[in-house]
């Protein structure tokens, strides 16, 4: 709800800037452009269909702020996520629209604040302004903001002059608009004699304090190196980015009631160090100076406390407390006015009674006055005599003191003269010693110069010898390089011959393996043939054995195998 209220304040300025005729209405074409830009800066997905349907051209004419609010709430504000966009870009968009129409700095360039500082003051004004439209800042908040800026410059704000200025303004008692506030700052009435650069630095410091962001050095967890990061503090988390544009988020530190902040001693070349301890890790950081470290540690501790109490922001909490104090002050003021009215009535009655008493006391007062006048005359005479005696005594004391002072001065002068004579005598002795030392130094210098000239001559002779040796060495190097080239060429030729011999040897080995394989195949075939011959010999021996008695059968058998015997013997001889 707080984020929605902050966004609505800036959007209200943009809407009123588009209301050229000050009728409370804006044309639909301008609202389309405004809505499209809001989609972009708030990082919300565009919905062109809903945009065209809601703002399609018809005969209804311009749209008022009440007519624009339903679309703004439904399609824009309800979809906004905190932390998903850069609020400074959103504020710059609204500032650009409203400043072009309403902000009128001095055309001669004599403005106290620059255009960028005016934008930051506008952002601070929106933060401190009341949640009522049109937006105004009450005098207490105006004084609070100016005091913050002056404190940043080590300057004291003249509160009485501010009250006079606000009382002269027609609407100053109720509060100031942002344009009246900027005109008041640019007038230089409260910042006179201060350079624009100092004012700009003070505005930047207050802006960063309220927005709660800035640069710090952070030590890495793995590489343990120091890197400068842009930190942004929220009650529940401390986020850090690569730069202040907040495009690349590097990480975040969750803050809860278990976290704590401790100040560390200077080490590793870093100063103004402190750390944030969580339940899982310790984050080491370094500020630019002691004041910045104190501000960051206090802000983080306050954020942890607010997180434990369920509150959102330190400055919002302080703003709410100031608002409650103003309400209590107004209630006390109203009660005091009632009490004053009642006391006034009682006072009038009391004055009537006092008048009666005064008449009775007047006679007594006249008598007392006469007695007092007589007593006063006697007292004056006594005081005049006493003053005369005191003056004479003071004159005598002064004469005595002047004589004593003169004697002291003369004695001091004589003592100074004696010291001066002793110093001159001492100085004369030192001058004589210095003269003798100078003569001796000149003699030593002549001897050193002679020795130096002799050394220079020897060095020139050695230099010539070195040059000659260098030339011989260069010739030897050239000769050695040529011999190396010849040897390298011979080695290359030998390597080529060796490679060819290796190739031939490899071919011989391959042929030998092939021949060995052929021999093995032939041996295998021979063994197989030998085995077959033995088998047939056994069979033939069995057939050639006599079968039994009987000549006729034996003859027949012999006749049968008699023709085969020469053939078998011829076969065995061929196989052998």
C-alpha dihedral (191, 194, 195, 198), degrees to nearest 10 = -80
Q: How many residues does the chain have?
A: 576
Cβ-contact 272, 287 below 8 angstroms = yes
| pLDDT of the residue at 524 | 87
User: What are the DSSP calls for 229-257, one per residue?
Assistant: EEEEE-SSEEEEESSTT--SEEEEEE--T
Mean per-residue pLDDT, 82-92? 79
Cβ-contact 167, 160 below 8 angstroms = no
Kindly report, residue by residue over 241-264, the tens digit of the pLDDT: 888 777 788 888 888 888 899 998
Higher pLDDT, 465 or 566: 465
Mean per-residue pLDDT, 122-144? 83
Handedness of CA 290, 294, 297, 303 (dihedral sign): negative
| pLDDT of the residue at 433 | 87
Report how far residue 50's alpha carbon sits from residue 167's, in angstroms, rounded to the nearest whole number: 49
Handedness of CA 502, 506, 507, 509 (dihedral sign): positive
State in Å, rounded, how far the first CA of the chain is from the last one.
119
Report how far residue 182's alpha carbon sits from residue 123's, in angstroms, rounded to the nearest whole number: 12
Report how far residue 207's alpha carbon sits from residue 191's, in angstroms, rounded to the nearest whole number: 18
Among 177-186, 355-364, 432-441, 555-564, the range scoring the smallest mean pLDDT is 555-564
Token pair, residue 136, equals: 């105004």
Token pair, residue 352, equals: 């009537």
**Over 70: is that where the pLDDT of 484 sits?**
yes
Mean per-residue pLDDT, 109-130? 82
| pLDDT of the residue at 89 | 84
| pLDDT of the residue at 109 | 59
Task: Tell me which H or E stretch contains 228.
Answer: strand 226-233
What domains sit in the chain, N to C, each tagged with a CATH number? 212-312 (2.30.29.30)
**Over 50: is that where the pLDDT of 149 sits?**
yes
Residue 233: pLDDT band with limits 50, 70, 90: confident
Cα angle, residue 447 at apex, residues 442 and 450 outer, rounded to 5°:
125
| pLDDT of the residue at 314 | 55
Query: Which candidate, 311, 300, 112, 283, places its Cα nearest to that of 194?
Result: 112
Kindly report, residue by residue over 490-540, the tens digit of the pLDDT: 888 888 888 888 888 888 888 888 888 888 988 888 888 888 888 887 877
Kindly report, residue by residue over 549-561, the tens digit of the pLDDT: 655 444 434 444 4
Mean of the per-residue pLDDT values for the chain? Answer: 80
Token pair, residue 328, equals: 């209590």
| pLDDT of the residue at 553 | 46
| pLDDT of the residue at 342 | 86
Cβ-contact 121, 203 below 8 angstroms = yes
**Mutual orientation of helices 290-309 and 314-544 as an angle, nearest 10°?**
80
Report how far residue 357's alpha carbon sits from residue 47's, in angstroms, rounded to the nearest whole number: 86
Highest mean pLDDT among 50-54, 241-245, 327-331, 383-387: 383-387
Q: For residue 129, count CB atoms less than 10 angstroms from its CB and return exposed for 0-12, middle for 13-18, buried for 19 or more.
A: buried
| pLDDT of the residue at 44 | 87
Report how far residue 429's alpha carbon sits from residue 440's, in angstroms, rounded to the nearest whole number: 17
| pLDDT of the residue at 400 | 87
| pLDDT of the residue at 10 | 86
Kindly report, residue by residue over 35-56, the tens digit of the pLDDT: 888 888 888 888 777 777 777 6
Cβ-contact 263, 247 below 8 angstroms = no
| pLDDT of the residue at 573 | 53
Distance of CA 213 to the CA centre of its chain: 9
Report how far residue 307's alpha carbon sits from residue 238's, in angstroms, rounded to the nearest whole number: 12
| pLDDT of the residue at 255 | 84
| pLDDT of the residue at 362 | 87
Token pair, residue 275, equals: 């750390």
pTM greater than 0.75 (yes/no)? no
| The pairing of beta strand 226-233 with beta strand 237-241 | antiparallel
Among all chains, which residue has been given the structure tokens 């009435």? Answer: 189
Among all chains, which residue has been given the structure tokens 């004159």? Answer: 395
Task: Tell me which H or E stretch contains 385.
Answer: helix 314-544
Mean per-residue pLDDT, 268-295? 86
Residue 268: pLDDT band with limits 50, 70, 90: confident
SS3 220: coil
Cβ-contact 87, 31 below 8 angstroms = no
Mean per-residue pLDDT, 104-133? 80
| pLDDT of the residue at 170 | 59
What contacts 204, CB < 8 A, 6 or more positions away?
117, 120
Kindly report, residue by residue over 187-214, the tens digit of the pLDDT: 777 777 778 788 888 888 777 766 656 6
| pLDDT of the residue at 48 | 75
Distance of CA 574 to the CA centre of its chain: 108
Report how far residue 261's alpha carbon sits from residue 297's, in angstroms, rounded to the nearest whole number: 6
Mean per-residue pLDDT, 81-93? 80
Higher pLDDT, 223 or 467: 467
What count of other Cβ atoms lies within 10 Å of the Cβ of residue 191?
22
Q: Would you put residue 269 in left (φ > 0), alpha (ψ -120 to 50) or beta?
A: left
Q: Which percentage of the chain shows pLDDT scores above 70?
A: 86
User: What are the DSSP calls for 62-111, one per residue?
Assistant: SEEHHHHHHHIIIIIGGG--TTSS-HHHHHHHHHHHHHHHH----TTS--
């Amino acid at each position: 709800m707080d984020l929605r209220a902050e966004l609505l304040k800036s959007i209200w300025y943009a809407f009123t800037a588009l209301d050229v005729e000050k009728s409370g209405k804006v044309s639909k074409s301008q609202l389309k452009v405004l809505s499209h830009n809001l989609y972009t800066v708030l990082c919300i997905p565009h919905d062109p269909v809903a945009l065209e349907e809601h703002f399609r051209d018809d005969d209804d004419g311009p749209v008022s702020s009440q007519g624009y609010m339903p679309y703004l709430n439904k399609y824009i504000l309800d979809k906004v996520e905190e932390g998903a966009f850069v609020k400074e870009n959103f504020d710059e968009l609204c500032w650009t629209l409203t400043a072009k129409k309403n902000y009128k700095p001095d055309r001669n360039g004599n403005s106290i604040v620059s255009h960028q500082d005016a934008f930051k003051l506008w952002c601070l004004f929106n933060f401190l302004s009341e949640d009522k439209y049109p937006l105004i800042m009450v005098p207490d908040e105006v004084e609070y903001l100016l005091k913050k800026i002056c404190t940043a410059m080590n300057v004291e704000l003249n509160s009485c002059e501010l009250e006079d200025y606000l009382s002269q303004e027609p609407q100053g008692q109720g509060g100031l608009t942002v344009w009246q506030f900027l005109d008041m700052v640019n007038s230089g009435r409260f910042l006179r004699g201060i350079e624009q650069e100092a004012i700009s630095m003070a505005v930047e410091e207050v802006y960063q304090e309220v927005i709660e962001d800035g640069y710090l050095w952070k030590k890495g967890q793995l590489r343990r190196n120091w890197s400068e990061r842009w930190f942004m503090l929220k009650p529940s988390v401390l986020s850090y980015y690569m730069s202040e544009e907040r495009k690349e988020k590097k990480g975040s530190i969750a803050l809860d009631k278990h976290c704590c902040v401790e100040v560390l001693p200077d080490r590793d070349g870093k100063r103004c160090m402190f750390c944030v301890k969580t339940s899982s890790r310790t984050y080491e950081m370094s500020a630019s100076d002691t004041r910045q470290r104190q501000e960051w540690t206090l802000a983080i501790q306050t954020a942890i406390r607010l997180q434990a109490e369920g509150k959102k922001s330190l400055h919002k909490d302080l703003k709410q407390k100031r608002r409650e104090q103003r309400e209590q002050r107004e209630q006390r003021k109203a009660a005091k006015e009632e009490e004053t009215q009642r006391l006034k009535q009682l006072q009038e009655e009391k004055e009537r009674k006092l008048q009666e008493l005064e008449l009775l006391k007047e006679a007594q007062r006249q008598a007392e006055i006469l007695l007092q006048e007589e007593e006063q005359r006697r007292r004056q005479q006594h005081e005049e005599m006493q003053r005369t005696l005191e003056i004479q005594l003071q004159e005598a004391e002064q004469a005595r003191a002047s004589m004593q002072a003169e004697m002291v001065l003369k004695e001091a002068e004589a003592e100074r003269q004696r010291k001066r004579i002793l110093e001159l005598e001492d100085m004369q002795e030192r001058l004589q010693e210095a003269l003798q030392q100078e003569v001796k130094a000149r003699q030593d210098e002549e001897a050193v110069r002679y020795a130096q000239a002799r050394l220079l001559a020897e060095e020139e002779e050695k230099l010539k010898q070195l040059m000659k040796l260098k030339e011989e060495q260069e010739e030897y190097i050239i000769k050695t390089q040529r011999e190396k080239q010849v040897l390298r060429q011979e080695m290359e030729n030998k390597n080529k011959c060796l490679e060819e011999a290796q190739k031939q040897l490899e071919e011989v080995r391959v042929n030998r393996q092939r021949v060995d394989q052929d021999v093995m195949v032939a041996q295998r075939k021979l063994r197989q043939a030998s085995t077959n011959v033995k088998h047939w010999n056994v069979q033939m021996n069995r057939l050639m054995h006599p079968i039994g008695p009987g000549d006729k059968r034996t003859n027949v058998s012999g006749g049968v195998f008699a023709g085969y015997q020469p053939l078998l013997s011829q076969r065995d001889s061929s196989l052998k």
